[in-house]
Every structure is written in C-alpha cells, then in structure tokens.
Amino acid sequence: MAKEKRFEKVYSQGALETFEILVDRETGVNYLFRQNGYAGGLTPLLDRDGKPVVTPIYD
C-alpha cells in the first residue's frame, strides 16, 4: 500500500536560484523553500498580519 506524500509542491520559480511553495497536506500550512546552490532554507509563508497562510484541505 503506497503512502501519500505529506507535502505537495504548488509553485516553483527559477533554476539555479529556486523558490518553491509547499503545502502540508495534513495541516494546510504553506511553506516557502529557497535554494541557492548547496544552501537552502524553509520557513512558513506568512500573510500581511504575520499569520501562517493555510490552504483548505479537501479529502
């Protein structure tokens, strides 16, 4: 039985310097991932009020 992936990539930009938005399929929280060469970082994506961006999850 194959287990579903927890994170889904919903946006990608760039080649050498990349930006991606990932959605946690269990919580709906959006994350911004940035990679430049061998370095990278991940942070929750925030709205203008400083609250995490949450995508509704549909089963």
DSSP annotation string for 1-59: -PPPPSEEEEEEE-SSEEEEEEEETTT-BEEEEEEETTEEEEEE-B-TTSPBPBPPP--
Tell me the whole-structure pTM to 2 decimals.
0.85
- Which of the residues in the chain have pLDDT under 70? 1-2, 59
- Domain of 31 in residue numbering reads as 1-59
Q: Which residue is associated with the tokens 């400083």?
A: 50
Query: Percentage of the chain with pLDDT > 90?
Result: 83
Domains of the chain: total: 1
